[in-house]
Amino acid sequence: MTLTSTSCDWQQLASLALNGQLLTPEEGLAILQAPDDEVLPLLHAAFAVRKHYYGKKVKLNMIINAKSGLCPEDCGYCSQSIVSTAPVPKYSLMDKATLLAGAREAMNRQAGTYCIVASGKGPTERELNQVIEAVQEITATMPLKICACLGLLSDGQAQRLADAGVHRYNHNVNTSRANYAAITTTHTYDQRTETVRRAKSSGMSPCSGVIIGMGETDDEIVEMAYALRELDSDSIPINFLNAIPGTPLANAGRTPAMKALKVLALFRFVCPSKEIRVAGGREVNLRSLQPLALYAANSVFVGDYLTTSGQDVSDDHRMIEDLGFEIERCAL
């Protein structure tokens, strides 16, 4: 198929995606490099795929920063890393009562998925037990899908989380294999993908995504989409770098809103049936074009992120209502 950046071409890509055919690298690049005046036809085609699998429903997710700072990793994007000088809160893993209160707040925000996130390379035995105890009570008392993001896991740790009732495990690949060493040196790309595979093997739903805006090329963005398709990630958070003062990537700048929309469309075409979540950095990168993101994505975080602020949850609810979309009340 030869692309000439016409709206007819985008509809043809949608048809291919719905028929289970993988885009070629050239087609993926054509999406990312399409003229800005093609973004609306492109999103129209992406919406055809999104609507086929998810209708007009939007999944809401809420993060709790269960353990902040105190991280030995050197990830260049993260304000909690050992190389960051950003003034962030530092505390050990929250107790059960606090994690339960966070779950109740997720319910108040109409979020179907509650994400328990802890800084660090991986959980200690004490931390794992604390999370397990909280998850068991949450799942027994609230209709929430629980996602954990605790770092690298061993096989035994993954199985214990699954047995406790954790539905989903998040561990993002973040960037391309080729770009990985420029972002962090304290663990490898393969260690991350192995944790995603362990989560899946244990029975948890694998969640893995990316951060756009960390020096990757367009070719590498296409490779990242292919990699997550190969990993069979059920949920794919698409973060856009929110450059935080005090981190190595503080001067990286923002992804233009139109480019961000093309990225979301790419991932919808490459991973057509998967939950595509517009995640961290959407407020500062997409800005006033945030509503358009939901024509490709079907999921969004509500409230604050780990150490950065999100927009008011009532604004997100209104955005979904104004689009004529519907909040998915229960993710189970």
Side chain identity at 265, as an amino acid letter? A
For residue 168, say whether it is annotated as part of any ligand binding site: no
Q: Which one of 207, 268, 271, 282 is the catalytic residue?
A: 207
Rg of the chain (C-alpha set) = 19
Does residue 149 have a known ligand-binding role?
A: no
207 is in an annotated binding site: yes
Selecting among 71, 149, 160, 282, the annotated active-site residue is 71
Coil, helix or strand for 111? coil
Residue 21 to residue 68: CA distance in whole angstroms: 42
Annotation marks residue 330 as catalytic? no
* 75 is annotated as an active-site residue: yes
Phi, psi of 148 (to 5 degrees): -110, 145
Per-residue tokens: 201: 């093997």
CA pair distance 314, 153, nearest whole angstrom:
36
115 labelled as ligand-binding?
A: yes
The amino acid at residue 191 is Q
Q: Is 207 a catalytic residue?
A: yes
Burial category of 114 from C-beta neighbours within 10 Å (exposed 0-12, middle 13-18, buried 19 and up): buried
Q: Is 271 annotated as a binding residue?
A: no
Q: Which of 192, 198, 277, 282 is catalytic?
A: 277
Catalytic hit among 109, 115, 160, 168:
115
84 Cβ contact partners less than 8 Å away, ≥ 6 residues apart: 78, 244, 246, 247, 248
Give the residue ranges of the annotated binding site for [4Fe-4S] cluster.
71, 75, 78
Give the residue ranges of the annotated binding site.
71, 75, 78, 115, 147, 207, 277
- Give me the active site residues, please: 71, 75, 78, 115, 147, 207, 277
